Amino acid sequence: MPHRTLNLEELADYLHLSTPDVERLLRETDLPRETRGGRMIFRRGAIDEWASQRILGLPDKRLDAYHQKMVRRRAPELPGGALMPMLLEPNAIDLELPSKTAASVVRDMVALADRTGRVLDPRELLESVRAREEMCSTALPGGMALLHARQLAEYRFESSFIALGRSVQEVPFGAPDGRPTQLFFLICCEDERLHLHTLARLCVMGLKTNMIDALLTAESAALAYEELVRIERDVLPPAPATEA
């Protein structure tokens, strides 16, 4: 439910942070908050928008630190930490996306996601992804964008997944470096914490590895999938040593 409210401790868990980390953000940023009966509360819908925008705009070192905190906090739920094998399949990859404009990218990516059979209401998803792009482009420097719905909603998908499209031609998509975009991920997660984790993971992979170049030159969906699985391993912390 996007209108659900969180207290301070719940918000910390939601953002994969400690309570002191959230208290620092309250002092230093415009983290959305309300006061009710003398208590501070946080509306989940407003937090979703704020958190996704903040992750996309974090500088390299702070993004890396945040991603590492996420990995540590979710370790019990995600043994090994890998997300790509769990969320992406070759049939959700289209390396010949016909899009020529930002609007057609959004339509084509939602259509690609719909072809997986996991989207329950494609029209609603399209409207929400459009609304998110109207707020501020999800394009990153270097040629990729991380599309997602403006607010998370339960029962939007049958299960969480990612779709990946590569447009045949470069598309002006509002990237902060002014360059066109050719790689488009659409993040379709049922769980809000998984959504933020996936967003941070893809940002780190795009900034710290050769992922963009590898995907731009991949010759098939199967090879693009293999590259993403391989590249993700480079940003994961090493597995703890086992005792003999």
Give me the chain's average pLDDT, please: 88
Provide the 8-state DSSP code for 210: S
Average the pLDDT over 183-191 and give the result: 93
Number of neighbouring beta carbons within 10 Å of residue 237: 11
Task: Render pLDDT for 85-111 as a digit per residue (tens, 0 to 9).
Answer: 999 999 999 999 999 999 999 999 999
- pLDDT-based confidence at residue 179 (cuts at 50, 70, 90): very high
User: Residue 157: how many CA atoms within 13 Å on its side-chain side?
Assistant: 25
Q: Where do the domains of the chain lie, and which CATH numbers do they carry?
A: 5-74 (1.10.1660), 84-233 (3.40.930.10)
- pLDDT-based confidence at residue 239 (cuts at 50, 70, 90): low
Nearest to 140 by CA among 70, 20, 60: 60
- As a whole number of angstroms, the distance between CA 149 and CA 189 comes to 10
pLDDT value, residue 2? 47
- As a whole number of angstroms, the distance between CA 80 and CA 98 comes to 36
Q: Which helix (H) or strand (E) holds 188?
A: strand 181-188
pLDDT value, residue 66? 80
- pLDDT-based confidence at residue 191 (cuts at 50, 70, 90): confident
Task: Render pLDDT for 129-154 as a digit per residue (tens, 0 to 9).
Answer: 999 999 889 999 999 999 999 877 77
Q: Are 109 and 186 in contact (CB under 8 A)?
A: yes
Nearest to 160 by CA among 200, 193, 206: 193
pLDDT value, residue 49? 76
**Rg of the chain, C-alpha, whole Å:** 18
Two tokens, residue 230? 């391989």
- As a whole number of angstroms, the distance between CA 64 and CA 60 comes to 6
Nearest to 145 by CA among 127, 121, 171: 171
Residue with tokens 């031609």: 169
Nearest to 189 by CA among 128, 102, 104: 128
- As a whole number of angstroms, the distance between CA 207 and CA 64 comes to 10
- As a whole number of angstroms, the distance between CA 171 and CA 105 comes to 8
Q: What is the 3-state secondary structure (H, E, C) of 153-167?
A: CCCCECCCEEEEEEE
